[in-house]
Structures are given as C-alpha cells and as structure tokens.
Amino acid sequence: MNQDSYNEMLAAVQAFHDKHNFRENGGEEMTYRVALMAEELGEISSCVTKGKGREELAEEVADLLILVMGTAIAEDFDLNHAFWAKMDKLMKRKSRMVDGRIRVSEFRGQ
C-alpha cells in the first residue's frame, strides 16, 4: 500500500464508511457532516490557542481531512479534481496585506 497516494487514502475512508454503514445510518447526511467538521475546527482551534503539541494538532487536522474526504464520498464528487481546479484558480490570484497578514482572494469590488 502506498500511503502517500490520494486514491489509497480515499479507499481507506470508503472502507471506514462501509465498515460502519454510514450511508444507511445517517453518517453521510450533510448537515451532520458539517456539524462534525465544525467540531473538528473547534478542536484544531483549541490545540492552537492552548499551545498543545504538534502531534495533537496533526491528529485533529487528520480528523478534519478524513471528514472532508468522506464528504466527497457522501456527495459523490471528485475531490482530487476539485482540489487541482481550485489550486489553478488560486495560483492566478494576487495577494494583498490585510491587517498585517497576507490574503489571497479575488478582492471583488476593491
């Protein structure tokens, strides 16, 4: 198994969904998934604001990534394609300093 492969990661998340019958038991319902992602963001925030270590932060970010990949499974879209399409758009954008921090956006109407 190539643990650096997106397809292997996606297959592992699919196997997790299958093992626990997510589709049949509400685990792929989008409102529920968004709530879980918000919860994980809170845990990431807690790691940062409370000065927890890199290991704890990495685990919480991995939880969020698994949820994001599971969302692609639940909604049947190609996250790999969406990622590269978005990166192409982002690479074409200009950056700007906003309140002392770099922002990369479309900066509409400004």
| Domain edges within the chain | 6-77, 79-110
Q: Domain 6-77 belongs to what topology?
A: Helix Hairpins (1.10.287)
The end-to-end CA distance of the chain, in Å, is: 48
Output the pLDDT for position 3.
64
Output the pLDDT for position 77.
98
Dist. CA 92–CA 106, nearest whole Å: 10
Written as tens digits, the pLDDT of the chain (110 aa) is 666 799 999 999 999 999 999 999 999 999 999 999 999 999 999 999 999 999 999 999 999 999 999 999 999 999 999 999 999 999 999 999 999 999 999 888 65
Dist. CA 89–CA 86, nearest whole Å: 5
Coil/strand/helix, residue 101: strand
